[in-house]
Amino acid sequence: MTKESKLMSGIILLSIPTIMFGGNFLLGLLSGSYPEMELTEFQKSMFRAGHGHAGVLVILALIAQFMTDHAKLTNSWKWIVRSGFPAASILVSGGFFAAAGGPGLIQPNSFIAILYLGILVLTVSLVALGAGLIRSK
């Protein structure tokens, strides 16, 4: 494990309590503990999706740190990949939350663009890492 992997993995692990806190809040929200916050079914679905994607993509970001150590990539590309996976986690999940923010929404607002930016960052990171791993011996 390289020092870069250790650094990024430590940062990623420190972000997990925010996902845990968000899950606790979401559970309270969906179970009716916050009656002053009336959500549409669309908003509930988007918030569930945002939370689920955050957890899965953070795990992928941790795994990618180890794989990046073995990929044949330039140092610049290694940092793009190392930071791209956690950034994608933030952008994708944040895009779900932002696109559903606002009273009574039943369809995404213009902040859905954040989600698509996250998908782009994730795609670039995945393709670069995959190509780097294929090129390595």
pLDDT in tens, the chain (137 residues): 999 999 999 999 999 999 999 999 999 988 888 888 889 999 999 999 999 999 999 999 999 999 999 999 999 999 999 999 999 999 999 999 999 999 999 999 999 999 999 999 999 999 999 999 999 98
C-alpha distances in Å from residue 66, one per residue of 1, 58, 91, 131: 7, 13, 22, 15
Contacts of 80 (CB under 8 A, 6+ apart): 124, 125, 128
pLDDT for the residue numbered 29: 87
Q: Can you give the residue range of the structural domain that contains 89?
A: 3-135
Q: What is the model's pLDDT at position 35?
A: 85
pLDDT of residue 104: 93
Separation in Å, CA 41 to CA 44, 51, 65, 95: 5, 15, 36, 17
Give 113-137 pLDDT, tens digit per residue.
Answer: 999 999 999 999 999 999 999 999 8
pLDDT at 34: 86
Report yes or no on whether pTM surpasses 0.75: yes
Distance CA 42, CA 26 (A): 14
Q: Of 69, 89, 93, 88, which is closest to residue 79 (Cα–Cα)? A: 69
Q: What does the pLDDT read at residue 16?
A: 95
> How many domains does the chain contain in total?
1
Q: What is the per-residue pLDDT for 136? A: 95
* pLDDT at position 2: 95
In whole angstroms, give the CA distance from residue 85 to residue 57: 7
Q: Residue 116's pLDDT is what?
A: 98
Contact assessment for residue 58 and residue 85, using Cβ atoms and an 8 Å cutoff: no
Rounded distance, CA 132 to CA 107, Å?
Answer: 39
